[in-house]
Amino acid sequence: MNQRGNSVVVIGGGLVGCWSAWYLLQQGFRVTIVERDCVGSGASSGNCGFVCPSHVLPLAGPGVFWSTLKQLLTPGGAVSIAARFDPGLWGWLWRFARHCNAHCQAKAALGRQQLLVSSMRLYREFICQQKVDPQWQEQGLLLVFRSPAAFDRYRSTVEILQQEYSLPVTAYPGRDVQQLEPSLRAGLGGGWFFPEDTHLRPELLLSQLRDQFEAFGGKIEQGTGVTGIEIQQGRAVAVRTGQQARDADLIVLAAGAETGLFARSLGCSLPVQPGKGYSFTVSAPSDMPRRPMIFEETHVAVTPFVDAFRVGSTMRFAGYDRRIEQHRLRMLRRIAEQHLRIRLPEKLSGAWSGWRPMVYDGLPCIGRSPVSNVIVAAGNGMIGLSTAPATGRLVAELAAEVSPHIDPRPYALSRFS
């Protein structure tokens, strides 16, 4: 049944909600985004801005469980976990451990690659057709290693990426990496360069996407938290916002890391955990790097925007904790200064934190829930900016019941049953 012209409420105004809303509008639906705070207030604005087809491999891979455990036990490390009673998180970690093998890694990588490749094409299409510029820069992505041994060890991953996923990668061993990127300090182990990755300014993208969505007739209600979904005889009929109810023919649940809180009412499992990350953004220093980089041993990322410089990272599993801990920002600055010939301001401006919506198998949840007129779109984890356009387009295709542009099966919610 073609449902065009019907009303859709999208819960959540992050990247996934906004891209879903945009493509739903293109399919002829009447669309309203209902956002508790303001568009981009979740994980979508202060992220590192990488649109990175190189990130095809999920976090869970062979040997990753032990290396993650080691990082968890390192005080001040990039990955950390709050010591608290949280059976949901423990179950999630146990399942993550069970996915740390080559078979699960390869299965997830195929699903991720579909979204990454399609999103890259959709970004270019959107920028060209809508005549917007979210500071899109085709500068590639450089993974930098302090130790030569770690640089060499990464070669086996590079071989998988080249052979299995046809990704172009160039090696810059030892001091070659400094020649490629003169802002780096001397004495580093080397770098691997992914020329096809790009980056953009996420806040700018969101405001342009939002403007286009409204110009084409979409509606946005900010400051409106959804407290529940009203279900009658197995179908959703409205979203509840405090004392009020907003009728809808179809609901798209794109509440990022908080999506799992709706699982019980939908009668399914949605194992999305908040993986808290930090960033700070300062005005462009004179010695700003030319290209985005990840300092791989610590997972700290740096992004040169046109007029600003962002440093971001850390993965903290601490539940829905919004505090910004200053010592984590200081750690980001210290690691950036250890790798770069750069002096960052003593007082850091633009401090930000957001919850990555993490699923243990490294794949998002995109598909109809057991309440069939509720489509879930969440769990894009560490690659939400890089995969949101294709996620949104798939959501709209599922809603309109037209043939999907990518195979939707890897993301189906039934994999958790």
Ligand X SMILES: Cc1cc2nc3c(=O)[nH]c(=O)nc-3n(C[C@H](O)[C@H](O)[C@H](O)COP(=O)(O)OP(=O)(O)OC[C@H]3O[C@@H](n4cnc5c(N)ncnc54)[C@H](O)[C@@H]3O)c2cc1C
104 in the Ramachandran plot: left (φ > 0), alpha (ψ -120 to 50) or beta? alpha
CB of 187 to ligand X, least distance (A): 27
Cα–Cα distance, 413 to 417 (Å, whole number) = 8
Does 312 bind ligand X (CB under 6 A)? Our answer is: yes
| Residue 295 φ/ψ, nearest 5 degrees | -85, 100
Residues 40-59 within binding reach of ligand X (CB under 6 A) = 41-44, 47-50
Does 277 bind ligand X (CB under 6 A)? Our answer is: yes
Cα–Cα distance, 63 to 228 (Å, whole number) = 40
CB of 49 to ligand X, least distance (A): 5
The residue (of 140 and 354) whose beta carbon lies closer to ligand X is 354
Quick one: which of 8, 9, 14, 104 contacts ligand X (CB under 6 A)? 14
Does 256 bind ligand X (CB under 6 A)? Our answer is: yes
Question: Interface with ligand X by CB under 6 A: which range of 229-237, 277-285, 321-329, 407-415?
Answer: 277-285
Tokens of 266: 């939908």
45 in the Ramachandran plot: left (φ > 0), alpha (ψ -120 to 50) or beta? alpha
Question: Interface with ligand X by CB under 6 A: which range of 90-98, 100-108, 256-264, 323-331?
Answer: 256-264
Residue pair 329/281 in contact by the 8 Å Cβ criterion: no
CB of 136 to ligand X, least distance (A): 14
CB of 221 to ligand X, least distance (A): 9
Cα–Cα distance, 95 to 229 (Å, whole number) = 28
CB of 78 to ligand X, least distance (A): 11
The residue (of 50 and 123) whose beta carbon lies closer to ligand X is 50
Q: What is each CA distance from 182 to 308, 332, 380, in whole angstroms?
A: 18, 20, 33
Cα–Cα distance, 4 to 262 (Å, whole number) = 26
Does 354 bind ligand X (CB under 6 A)? Our answer is: yes
What dihedral angle (degrees, nearest 10) is formed by the CA atoms of 334, 340, 343, 348?
Answer: -50
Quick one: which of 220, 378, 406, 413 contacts ligand X (CB under 6 A)? 378
Does 169 bind ligand X (CB under 6 A)? Our answer is: no
Quick one: which of 380, 389, 396, 406 contacts ligand X (CB under 6 A)? 380
Angle between helices 15-26 and 202-215 (to 10 degrees): 30
The residue (of 190 and 357) whose beta carbon lies closer to ligand X is 357
Cα–Cα distance, 363 to 381 (Å, whole number) = 8
Cα–Cα distance, 364 to 357 (Å, whole number) = 9
Question: Interface with ligand X by CB under 6 A: which range of 22-30, 94-102, 253-261, 332-340?
Answer: 253-261
Residue pair 403/397 in contact by the 8 Å Cβ criterion: yes
CB of 46 to ligand X, least distance (A): 7
Quick one: which of 201, 210, 299, 356 contacts ligand X (CB under 6 A)? 356
CB of 209 to ligand X, least distance (A): 11
Residues 209-228 within binding reach of ligand X (CB under 6 A) = 225-226
Question: Interface with ligand X by CB under 6 A: which range of 213-221, 367-375, 380-388, 404-412?
Answer: 380-388
Q: Sign of the CA dihedral 329, 334, 338, 340?
A: positive
Question: Interface with ligand X by CB under 6 A: which range of 22-30, 175-183, 317-325, 374-382?
Answer: 374-382
Does 178 bind ligand X (CB under 6 A)? Our answer is: no
Q: Which residues form the interface with ligand X (CB under 6 A)?
A: 11-17, 34-37, 41-44, 47-50, 225-226, 254-258, 277-279, 312, 354, 356-357, 378, 380-386
